[in-house]
Structure 1
């Protein structure tokens, strides 16, 4: 078993730091000295999956292995912990933790920050090492991912702490003025009855997508990380609930310098596409498999067949909505999807769909047919793409400028 531990504070810092104890959740008092680490309780929040709590540890649960979009059979669990707030914004944090990874299992700890009223992407945090945030923030959250072979091992992470620091390099990721849009090859995921990387059990005609990096993986039931996927005539807004196709560390929507892997590839180009078209990496993915298609996104059946009306794998335009500024709303339905129409009324032709919990990019608002939905009764419709509208009665959102 491999155990890792956060490094201790130096004797100098220990002598000069203000001494106090905080029970999580809590707030760090303002002090001129370096604040002490804040203990993060082992209490997974809603959306976590297949983990159990044993004392101060998050341990892989007992659910069986499932095949996700990467076609690699593993047991996996995901735990998001309650966010930690600081009195003052910080540009970086040190995440401390212990971990046990027996029998070829693995444990990963990620951190993200609340920036500009939304969560940044997840960034892997090495124990005891400063992790830069995309911008100064007074709120961070820790996520734990534990994985193991089909039988045997039970990896764990425990004794989690977070500590503000200014001892980090430049921010790893930035929010752009407009979200990145790229043209990528889409494949159908299928796998009804399987389990996605965030613990969602795939149902018939489901609505979600898979991208090949956990940096943009939403927890089950959440649309924090959502995409707009468009053909020439239709668009779908869907949450990212799985990891794949091909790779699991290919956040190709980020600038080349900040990608997890494949830093010599241009922003917006998936490694699988480069491998298939150009023979990049010997034509193989990160696992050494020969890449059989250039896919950069997987679409659940409801997105593939119903929202986009695709008959076969196809090139599509994808906008990674969390990577830029702009108006947003959240689809507030209990299941299924929300129709996207070509006019602000329920008789307009359906030109796309928006899945449960997905974020939609709002360009402006206009008045139309009165609709009653989860947000009450309203005659306001939101334009989410040129010539495409959704009823605000089904979308949790603020007010926007007139179209």
Structure 2
């Protein structure tokens, strides 16, 4: 269960600012594109909030707050997430100029993501790269790492520029599904990479890539994990990085995959290393791979959601890889929400949806009246084949049905 290592991607995507700090290594990259500029703005680095992890602001500059208290982290790391910014026009790319002190042995990464008005977020991607579709709202994430005792990097200023790119419209696609090997996350009391403190029988999942980590208290990246016989499923937010690798977005095609592009799409590097001796049977940090895991499951997902007792092959749907369709956020008082076989509280339970999970609403149907977190209603949402939840626990931002009636 390897987590939270950060790699140097900034050098390829951020513009050099050397005049201010000539004595320190500067972060470098291609300059912002001049095509159809949609506006530039500076990130406010002076305020750190609950969405940020192990960072602090000192005289308006951003640095690590202290030694890392997340589990299994080599050195110290932290992240700073900006508020989402709605643009006056759509954009296909967000580039950046960064002024930073980056001592040897430290890194600064700047990733961005975007969404249009109809669906979810793109994956976190290095600034300057084109989004897969035109975005109206954008957000940035600054990741810092360094030795446990320092020195640590210091980010003095960040300016973002939104530009046109090709501004492709989102095409409705089904999310990707692959069968991968799941292992137990465990580590109760430790911290995930987004700052969540792991509780007993917790409900979240972990993938070996930083591209799909949801900010704390959100499910902007949610996975549907099912037993291979389809008898039980859980919708759970992605809050952690691991197992084994930290930049293995194996669900993406080779031209988008951050590392190991020669592997077949859908094959985690750990699986190839364990089964076929790929990379000498080692992960990206040179450790011998002891299992083929492509996902870690928090204890509540493993034991309560899926009813498993140990490591197992599972079918995983990476919900954020699909576009189009209605989405809702599971809203409960803290406990996961039962998935019912039909729209009734007496129907068979087919699994659960974790708090904060973002679920696809295929259609809506009238069923048993339920009083839930969002009121009282007879409306139920179908979130998968024979999987229903009361609409009174699904925040959609709409009054009434968000999707068409079920056939």
2:215 alignment partner in structure 1: 219
Provide, for residues 93-142 of structure 1, a one-character-per-residue CA deviation record: whole Å limited to 9, x for no partner. 321112233362322110111234422111022xxxx3212222343211
1:183 alignment partner in structure 2: 179
Which of 129, 144, 164 aligns to 1:131? It is 129
2:14 alignment partner in structure 1: none
1:111 alignment partner in structure 2: 112
Q: May I ask how many residue pairs the two structures share in their alignment?
A: 374
Q: Distance in 2 between matches of 1:193 and 1:152?
A: 25
Are the equivalent residues in 2 in contact too, given 1:373–1:394 (CA < 8 A)? yes
2:404 alignment partner in structure 1: 401
DSSP-derived class of the 2:273 partner: helix
Which of 43, 54, 57 aligns to 1:53? It is 57
Deviates more, 1:238-247 or 1:373-382: 373-382
Q: 5+ residue gaps in structure 2?
A: 1-23
> How far 1:8 moved relative to its partner?
7.3
Q: Distance in 2 between matches of 1:360 and 1:138?
A: 22
2:4 alignment partner in structure 1: none
> After superposition, where does 1:1-400 map in structure 2 within 5 Å?
2-4=25-27, 37-42=40-45, 43-44=47-48, 46-62=50-66, 64-67=68-71, 71-102=72-103, 104-115=105-116, 116-125=118-127, 130-166=128-164, 177-231=173-227, 232=229, 233-325=231-323, 326-397=325-396, 398=398, 399-400=402-403
Q: Distance in 1 between matches of 2:317 and 2:260?
A: 21
2:18 alignment partner in structure 1: none
Provide, for residues 301-324 of structure 1, a one-character-per-residue CA deviation record: whole Å limited to 9, x for no partner. 000011001112000000011110
Are the equivalent residues in 1 in contact too, given 2:233–2:350 (CA < 8 A)? yes
Q: 5+ residue gaps in structure 1?
A: 14-31
Are the equivalent residues in 2 in contact too, given 1:211–1:245 (CA < 8 A)? yes
Provide, for residues 175-203 of structure 1, a one-character-per-residue CA deviation record: whole Å limited to 9, x for no partner. 76100000000000100011111111101
Are the equivalent residues in 1 in contact too, given 2:133–2:167 (CA < 8 A)? no
Instruction: Give TM-score, length-normalised by structure 1.
Output: 0.86
> How far 1:234 moved relative to its partner?
0.1
Are the equivalent residues in 2 in contact too, given 1:63–1:75 (CA < 8 A)? yes
DSSP-derived class of the 1:379 partner: strand
Instruction: Give TM-score, length-normalised by structure 2.
Output: 0.85
2:12 alignment partner in structure 1: none
> How far 1:386 moved relative to its partner?
1.7
Q: Distance in 2 between matches of 1:310 and 1:119?
A: 31
Q: Distance in 2 between matches of 1:138 and 1:392?
A: 27
